[in-house]
Amino acid sequence: MTMRRTSLDRAAELRTEPGVVDRLRGDETARVIAVRDGRVRIAGADLSEAELLRVPPSEIPDATWALLGRDAEGLPLLLASLPPEGDSVDTAPDETWLGLRDLGANLGAEDSELLIEALALAGWLRDAPFCPRCGGGTELRQAGWSRRCLVCGREHFPRTDPAVIVAVESPDGERLLLGANANWGGRMYSCFAGFTEAGESLESTVHRELAEESGVRLSSLRYVSSQPWPFPRSLMLGFRAVAVDEHGVRPDGDEIIDVRWFTRAEIASALAGEGPVGLPGPASIARALIVSWLEDQHETGRSGPQ
């Protein structure tokens, strides 16, 4: 399975340097990714070859700042989280602010990883200015990666909320179980997903979600890969599982309006964009899990009986 994986250098060792963000704001080699309302600007007009726009720090007068890391050339990268109503950035008429859904799979691997880091950190900087324990004001520390409460002294960090997403196959491995969410309009099918609750393990989350949404019990479960999804702060943990019994599946009728077993041929044609069924888009972990199942099955088929 080929989820994107690069080695973005977050330069975490710099975060403890006193005043490091102010120093880098004065560094002419530093570059800034500006985020406003969950959106960024891209360089160039062609979305299919989009790159994140990187500007010198001097072009951003008013923002909440943080250190993102170093780029491929080792130059410092800063985050400027702009005020929601901010008009502080000199926006040229041809500049467009785009979100993660707009950019989809158009960014390269490095920019894609950088974008998700920037959106996740900017979301926390925007949404969590006060101490969750006592409501006091906070000061930023660790180059924007921590906040300390000015009243009770507790230190807080950007949160990540785990969620599971699961591709379930039939006991014989020949069919894949997918569900249609009420919010997707009826044509779209995908893997089952849900948030981990307080005090719950990932394994328990998977079994609970599948029982709730499809009525299926699972006989085996294995972790595959993960994808951060900063809306506002999720980490999707992808699993494969095998159903105990393929009969008796049923949608919960609330969140999930239909549950179906799909053959290998049906999945292959849906991935090719043919037929009535829609599948998740190319940048999603859901699609990667579906493709992973399809390719496994093909490999099994090719090897033939032993």
From the CB of 69, what's the least distance to Zn ion, in Å? 29
Interactions with Zn ion, residue window 112-131 (CB under 5 A):
131
Residues 11, 75: Cα–Cα separation, whole Å: 10
Closest to Zn ion by CB, 3 vs 140, is 140
Q: Report if residue 149 touches Zn ion, rule: CB under 5 A.
A: yes
Tell me how far apart the alpha carbons of residues 63 and 76 are, in angstroms, rounded to a whole number: 17
Per the CB < 8 A criterion, the answer to whether 8 and 110 are in contact is yes
Closest separation in Å from C-beta 74 to Zn ion: 38
Nearest distance from residue 20's CB to Zn ion, in Å? 25
CB of residue 161 to Zn ion, shortest distance in Å: 21
Q: How far is the CB of 67 from Zn ion (least distance, A)?
A: 24
Nearer to Zn ion, 101 or 133 (CB): 133
User: Which has the closest alpha carbon to 278: 189, 183, 193?
Assistant: 189
Q: Does 152 participate in binding Zn ion (rule CB under 5 A)?
A: yes
Q: How far is CA 282 from CA 82, 97, 107, 260, in A?
A: 30, 22, 12, 21
Shortest separation between residue 150's beta carbon and Zn ion, angstroms = 8
Candidate residues 23, 133, 217, 298; the one interacting with Zn ion per rule CB under 5 A: 133
Q: Which stretch binds Zn ion (CB under 5 A): 34-42, 101-109, 142-150, 218-226?
A: 142-150
Q: How far is CA 142 from CA 17, 67, 211, in A?
A: 8, 9, 42
Q: Residue 45 pairs with which residues in a beta bridge?
A: none
Taking the C-alpha atoms of residue 260 and residue 212, their distance in angstroms, rounded to an integer, is: 15
Element holding 211 (H helix, E strand): helix 202-214
Cβ atoms of 221 and 111 within 8 Å: the answer is no
Q: Does 215 bind Zn ion (CB under 5 A)?
A: no
Shortest spacing between CB 38 and Zn ion, in angstroms: 27
* Residue placing its CB nearer to Zn ion in the complex, 70 or 156: 156
Give 39 or 156: the residue with its C-beta nearer to Zn ion: 156
3-class SS of residue 35: strand
Site for Zn ion, residues 230 to 289, rule: CB under 5 A: none
Residues in contact with Zn ion, counted by CB under 5 A, come to a total of 7
Q: 38 vs 158, which CB is nearer to Zn ion?
A: 158
Q: Are 139 and 129 in contact (CB under 8 A)?
A: no
Buried b (16+ CB within 10 A) or exposed e, 140-161: bebbbbebbbeeeeeebebeee
Cα distance between residue 135 and residue 90, in whole Å: 34
Nearer to Zn ion (CB atom), residue 154 or residue 208: 154
Q: Is 136 in the site for Zn ion (CB under 5 A)?
A: yes
Cβ proximity to Zn ion, 156 vs 207, nearer residue: 156
Taking the least distance from each CB to Zn ion, the nearer of 136 and 278 is 136
Is 138 one of the binding residues for Zn ion (CB under 5 A)?
no
Binding site for Zn ion (CB under 5 A): 131, 133-134, 136, 149, 151-152
